[in-house]
Amino acid sequence: MQDVARLAGVSVSTVSYVLTGVRPVSDTTRQRVQAAMDTLGYQRNALARGLASRRSHILALLFPAIERGLSGTALEFVTSAAETARRHGYHLVLWPTGADDEAETRDLVRQRLVDGVVVMEVKLHDPRVVELQRGDTPFTLIGRTADPAGLPYADIDFDATVRDALDHLTGLGHRHIGLLSHSRGSLQAGYGPTVRVLAAFEREARQRGLLTAIRHCDETADAGRAAVAELFAERPDLTALVTLNDNATFGAVAQIVDGGRRIPGDVSVLSVVSSPQVGALSHPRLTTMAAPGARLGRLGVESLLARIEGPPAVAATGASTLHELIPCRLDVGATTGPAPTTS
């Protein structure tokens, strides 16, 4: 910066001010400074800037390492978050949290390296969120805790998603509908999608008077096969299956076919919180409801930036706190069709 100042014949503070723009600078000097910066290829030192301004322009993305192997939509989310951050002049650091989520979260914010935190894969009772609430670092959740009233979050609208899914199926005449969900472990761990889809499914099915059967299973095709076998053993009259588990879905489809049932002639399959790309891997192409990964990534980062850069009042009062619920979008493939006439 000194070099730039010298070359432009001004003081360092003037250079700083043309960069920050917080105080008026005459056009002529501004141009001289700009020219000097261009010829020198000058870029502000990010560390010094952060130290002096108490703003690092770095955000952290907290995500649980390894568990459930992070799906494809997770990658879409991460990419979208990184791009959004960058578009606003911010960096995004990836912060895998392991077993001891709480301590790791605390250490992260105390380093004062990041201006804000985006928390992925939030659980109903998430120690990371508890820890963040204690500190003064702004954060937003992707997903929600059990009681997210005062917290800014963006999440999938599981209620609407399940409603839309059942609308699609009942519209085709189905009345006996199964649910193939994530593992029972994820349910007990308070993993949002598992818990909320289950609750919504049970509620909606009751309201509509549907007959249902529910199975939880691990994230593998083999587990999906086994679960579906049990499902049809329990309720052979199922004509449709809603799945919440990409890997298991493929096993489920195979098992249904192997069991002598035709898709969608005898059984319809609808994979929710998935994506058309994944659906296209199946043959026939799966009917899916796409998780809004990219949209959540963008929303999460933008609302976080609003809290960081907005007037202090916003951060303090929590006014305009983001509460965004986005449903999955239905993409009708070839695995859902009219219910068989039971005549």
Is 319 near its own copies (CB under 8 A)?
A: no
Closest contact distance (angstroms) between CB of 204 and its own copies is 29
Ramachandran angles phi, psi of 35, nearest 5°: -60, -45
Report, in Å, the least distance between residue 47 CB and its own copies: 4
d(CA 214, CA 235): 10
Q: Considering only residues 6, 23, 87, 125, which one is a binding residue for DNA as defined by CB under 7 A?
A: 23
Per CB under 7 A, contacts with DNA among 176-215 are: none
Euclidean distance between CA atoms 38 and 197, whole angstroms: 55
| Closest C-alpha among 238, 195, 246 to residue 220 | 246
CA neighbours within 13 Å on the CB side: how many for 206?
6
Residue 330 CA to its chain's centroid (Å): 18
Q: How far is the CB of 36 from its own copies (least distance, A)?
A: 15
- Of the candidates 266, 265, 261, 223, the one whose C-alpha atom is nearest the C-alpha of residue 243 is 223
Q: How far apart are CA 47 and CA 44, in angstroms?
A: 9
Q: Taking CB under 8 A as the rule, which mask of x and - marks residues 230-269 in contact with its own copies? A: -----------------x--xx-xx--x------------
Residue 12 binding its own copies, by CB under 8 A = no
Binding mask 30-69 for its own copies (x = CB under 8 A): -----------xxxxxxxx-xx----x-x--x---xx--x
Between 99 and 149, name the residue whose CB sits nearer to its own copies.
99
Q: Which one of its own copies, DNA, none is in contact with 56 (Cβ closer than 5 to 8 A by kind)? A: its own copies
Q: Which of 20, 79, 277, 320 binds DNA (CB under 7 A)?
A: 20
| Distance from C-alpha of 79 to C-alpha of 119, rounded to nearest angstrom | 15
Q: How far is the CB of 110 from its own copies (least distance, A)?
A: 4
DSSP conformation letters of 113-169: --SEEEE-S-BTT-HHHHHHHHS---EEEES--SS-TTS-EEEE-HHHHHHHHHHHH
Counting contacts by CB under 7 A, is residue 317 touching DNA?
no
Helix (H, G, I), strand (E, B) or coil at 263: coil
Give the count of residues interacting with DNA (CB under 7 A): 29
Structure tokens at 209: 């008077």
Residue 72 found at the interface with its own copies (CB under 8 A): yes
In the list DNA, its own copies, none, the entry touching 28 (Cβ below 5 to 8 angstroms by class) is DNA
Which of the ranges 22-30, 129-137, 174-182, 193-201 carries the binding residues for DNA, by CB under 7 A?
A: 22-30
Distance CA 59, CA 47 (A): 14
113 belongs to the binding site for its own copies (CB under 8 A)? yes
Partner whose footprint covers residue 235, from DNA, its own copies, none (CB < 5 to 8 Å by kind):
none
Q: Residue 257 and residue 248: Cα distance in Å, rounded? A: 14
* Cβ-Cβ contacts under 8 Å for 134 (sequence gap 6 or more): none
The residue among 163, 234, 177, 243 whose CA lies nearest residue 210 is 177
Q: Are 137 and 58 within 8 A, CB to CB?
A: no
Stretch 77-106 residues interacting with its own copies (CB under 8 A)? 78-79, 82-83, 86, 91-96, 106
The Cα–Cα gap between 156 and 119 comes to 14
Distance CA 15, CA 13 (A): 5
| Closest distance of CB 219 from its own copies, Å | 9
Q: Which does 301 bind (CB under 5 to 8 A by kind): its own copies, DNA, none?
A: none
Nearer to DNA, 48 or 319 (CB): 48
Binding partner at 191 among its own copies, DNA, none, C-beta below 5 to 8 Å by kind: none
- List residues near DNA by CB under 7 A: 1-2, 9-14, 16-17, 19-20, 22-26, 28-30, 42, 44-45, 48-49, 51-54
